Amino acid sequence: MATNLGGLVKRLQDIMRNDPGINGDAQRIEQIIWALFLKVYDAKEEDWEMDEDDYQSIIPEPYRWRNWAHDDGSGTARTGEELLDFVTELFSTLKNLPITPDMPKKKRIVKTMFEETNQYMKDGVLLRQVINVIDAIDLESYDDMHALGDIYETILKELQSAGRAGEFYTPRAVTDFMADRIEPHLGERMAEQRCLGLIQFKGRYA
């Protein structure tokens, strides 16, 4: 069943409002961003694996989204304290990935992303719910991919509101990653508002 992405951000925020570790929209949005980043990055890695015979992920196998996030309903998916402990290991691993100057940006960006990102949730059951919602996005569906732009615009508006309220935690790697993937340019007509918004987001909030 296709995911209703129009209300995805709201659904995730509603779940996280019940978590004692989350205080404010900026923290909720940061939670959404790191999970969505790993989901999208995993999908991109599938493309790179098909295009490059010798492609190797910079993310160790146990921590790749495909190997821990999916809940197949068998009761084996991590949740509760087990999931919280695993995500702590995940963050520590990704923050400390070995990188070199000659490494492709598409690999270096993972460490950069997590160096400035935090995991705030304290309820592992609620965290599992958040992961399940994001994992349900079908990145092979045109409708779902198109709706990612709507998610971006929603997050942008939320971040603008959070900035006016004095709370701001924009991971720089997120804006770099989106700009690198989308390559927006001033004057482009296709998805004009989104291109301009992305440039504005990168310039003002990175």
Q: What is the pLDDT of residues 142-152, one digit of tens each?
A: 455 555 556 66
State residue 11's pLDDT score.
86
Q: What is the mean pLDDT of residues 113-127?
A: 93
State residue 198's pLDDT score.
44
Segment 19-37, tens digit of pLDDT: 999 988 778 888 888 998 8
Name which of 9, 42, 21, 11 is nearest 152 in CA terms. Answer: 9
Mean confidence (pLDDT) of the chain? 79
State residue 158's pLDDT score.
59
Encoding tokens for residue 182?
């989308």
CA dist., res. 11 & res. 158, Å (int): 14
State residue 55's pLDDT score.
93
Segment 145-196, tens digit of pLDDT: 555 556 666 666 655 555 544 444 445 566 667 777 777 777 765 444 444 4
How many helices (DSSP H) and strands (DSSP E) are in the chain? 9, 0
Q: What is the mean pLDDT of residues 95-109?
A: 92
